[in-house]
Amino acid sequence: KKEKKEKKEKKEKKSRKAESDSEEEVKPGFKKARIETPSPAETPRDTTPEAGAEQEAHDEIPENLRLSTYRISPATVAALGVRGINALFPIQAETFDYIYNGNDVLGRARTGTGKTLAFALPMVEILLKDNASAGHGRSPRVLVLTPTRDLAIQVSNEFTSISPNLKSICVYGGTPIYEQTTALRGGVDVIIGTPGRVLDHINRGNLRLDSLRFVCLDEADQMLDIGFADDMEQVLQHVQTQKESRGASAPKHQTLLFSATAPEWIKRTVEKYLDPKYINVDLVGNSRVKTNENIRHYAIPSTWQSRKDVIGAVVAFYGGNRGLTVIFANTKAEADELALTDKLRADAKVLHGDIPQAQRELTLQGFREAKVKCIICTDVLARGIDIPMVDLVINCQPPKDVETYVHRSGRTGRAGRKGVCVTFFKAQEEYMIQNIQRRAGMEMVKAGPPQPQDIIAATAQDAADIVGKVVKNVIPMFRPIAESMIAENFNGDATEALAAALAHISGYGAGVRARSLMSAAEGYTTLIFRLSHEIQHSGYVRNILTRNFPKLGYEDVKGMRMTKDMTGVVFDVVSEKLEVDDSNTIFLAGNKWTDLDNIKLEVAKTLPELEQRMNDHRGGNGGGRGGYGGGRGGGRGGFRGGRGGGGGGFRGGRGGRR
């Protein structure tokens, strides 16, 4: 021990002498300062709780998604951090190195997974690395084509947010072209626009393409669709022509295509304009599920008239008063008509091609900031627009193709959030729902419209929160009238008075009427007979109703449907003819129903899986005037097959039986 102590003291003495010798006199009385840098192992770590939490969060990010894994500059990392982005999404991680290394890329991923940043991020890093001229009148180095002006604006904002030093311009129709011309002549780094307006600038000589490093088609499947293909091809052809004219000094450019879907005919453009050695990054692949997996899908049967009346209840139930909702109509006229319904909240705004661009931008900005809670639009918003906080998407009708459904539903469930997509359909559109389910590889839950108890449960708390936020100093001003109301109108019951106020705030002061689960028709209640054995057709139940409820008119019952397992029949009854007491005993037209061992009757809370209608998209459930379930119209028309025509019998004349 003594020897060890002596050796230690000798070593320390020697160290102190070496330090003294290293000091260098630079002026009388001054010594050069020694800067001691501790070794990495000795470097003190930030041990504050905030730093610990940040390190823990970083460690939880998979290495292949960390920003530090990729060639992203500190300035860009900081810009992403301001937006709360500290990791990449899979499509961004999978494509970054390929784009950065100079490859042409075809990228495919589900909606809401960050495709815009997937191409913008490596483009920005390449431009910053090149440190090209920022001189006046410079030609753009990036061209991004988008199918809509709203998407063009969003992509432009994406570039600006991650690299404000790069000058970008957004060009599209509906705005004065001279302002865009002035900006282009001043010199830009990035140009984003719709094919028609970009082509217009090329033809006017405002836009040179021979310095491009990147050409990107965002939402490529729609860009290549009818109406966009011609302009897009002309733009790409101009790129090739101008580069050939410039000769060897023209930089080689990369072509990138990004989309959520990839129809077969997209291959023709890929073969024509992408390098034969292009990289295909497909995060959807052969998966049957084409939609975002964070979305729950519902299908609600209804007539068009009922749809307008029930849509407010759907928004309240599935979206809540605080959520953001996008409602898709197939035409501008339908969107305008829906906006006039008093069933939707007052802050609903319309968004379609006839709305001036300035107003559209204001509406979208208000929607992003949650000042506008509901937008009614055509497919102008279906492609690419990224508003992460959308809670609910509603299709007023089933889209005609699965690609449109994928893009519409993809406005919700973005950036890892959960979302809901509700699609209304008429009886003759049920086959379209099945087609979408089959081709998109997902299942829609068949649901009825929200019932009174569902709506009230969804909206009552929001109404209570509104009352709870009333400024305290105004309450005394309303106390006298409140006390008077409680005494005169509510027999002194303050709780009942407050409940009435909450009902009015929720929008149901005039009451709520029951709606059919099968058609959303107001004033009807859906009932279901459940049997212990299979039956061949719903006429079995019709006979039971006729025998047990003689005062129940034929017209009081409608829409009989067999359950898929053939052990039940669902039907609607006029709500005024129905009573249900506290013990859930059912009275129809004044007569009591008593359950038997083999057959029970109950009010349907949800729709069971129903037997598929045969040929329901060909125009009706029966021929002639038919019998029950027949409807008007001749030709083919048995509810389950056979020929209708003539007087018809129950279920559409001869041939209606299985």
* Band (41; pLDDT cuts 50, 70, 90): very low
Residue 198 CA to residue 173 CA, distance in Å, equals 9
pLDDT score recorded for residue 345 = 66
- Pick the closest to residue 106 from 195, 242, 223 (CA basis): 223
pLDDT tens track for 455-509: 777 778 878 888 988 999 999 999 999 999 999 999 999 999 999 998 888 777 7
Residue 100 CA to residue 124 CA, distance in Å, equals 10
pLDDT score recorded for residue 157 = 92
Contact 192, 152 (CB under 8 A): yes
In this structure, the strands spanning 105-108 and 295-301 are unpaired
The chain-wide mean pLDDT, for the chain, equals 81
Residue 229 CA to residue 506 CA, distance in Å, equals 48
pLDDT score recorded for residue 321 = 65
- Pick the closest to residue 302 from 448, 400, 437 (CA basis): 448
Helices (H), 163-228: 177-186, 195-203, 220-223
Contact 159, 192 (CB under 8 A): yes
Residue 122 CA to residue 474 CA, distance in Å, equals 56
In this structure, the strands spanning 568-574 and 374-377 are unpaired
In this structure, the strands spanning 557-562 and 591-592 are unpaired
pLDDT tens track for 45-104: 455 544 554 555 556 788 889 999 999 999 999 999 998 888 999 999 999 999 999 999
Contact 546, 336 (CB under 8 A): no
For the chain, percent of residues with pLDDT exceeding 70: 80
Residue 233 CA to residue 133 CA, distance in Å, equals 29
Q: Tokens in use for 414? A: 């973005």
pLDDT tens track for 218-262: 987 777 665 677 888 899 999 999 999 999 999 999 999 988 776
- Pick the closest to residue 228 from 363, 110, 383 (CA basis): 383
- Pick the closest to residue 207 from 236, 233, 189, 181 (CA basis): 181
Residue 333 CA to residue 308 CA, distance in Å, equals 13
Q: Tokens in use for 26? A: 């630079």
pLDDT score recorded for residue 657 = 39
pLDDT tens track for 503-546: 888 777 777 778 888 888 888 999 999 999 999 888 889 899 99
pLDDT score recorded for residue 400 = 86
Interhelix angle 430-440/402-409, nearest 10 degrees:
80
Does the pTM of the predicted model rise above 0.75? Answer: no
- Residue 625 scores a pLDDT above 90: no
- Pick the closest to residue 195 from 214, 219, 164, 159 (CA basis): 219
In this structure, the strands spanning 578-580 and 142-145 are unpaired
* Band (292; pLDDT cuts 50, 70, 90): confident
* Band (40; pLDDT cuts 50, 70, 90): very low
- Residue 393 scores a pLDDT above 50: yes
Tell the burial category of 406 from Cβ atoms under 10 Å away from its Cβ (0-12, 13-18, 19+): buried
User: Locate tokens 């990289």: which residue?
Assistant: 279
* Band (360; pLDDT cuts 50, 70, 90): confident
Which is more confidently placed, 318 or 624? 318
* Band (1; pLDDT cuts 50, 70, 90): low
* Band (312; pLDDT cuts 50, 70, 90): confident
Which is more confidently placed, 233 or 110? 233
Which domains are assigned to the chain?
Answer: 59-282 (3.40.50.300), 295-450 (3.40.50.300), 454-505 (no CATH), 524-612 (3.30.70.2280), 625-658 (no CATH)
Least confident of 182-196, 412-426, 444-458, 580-594: 444-458
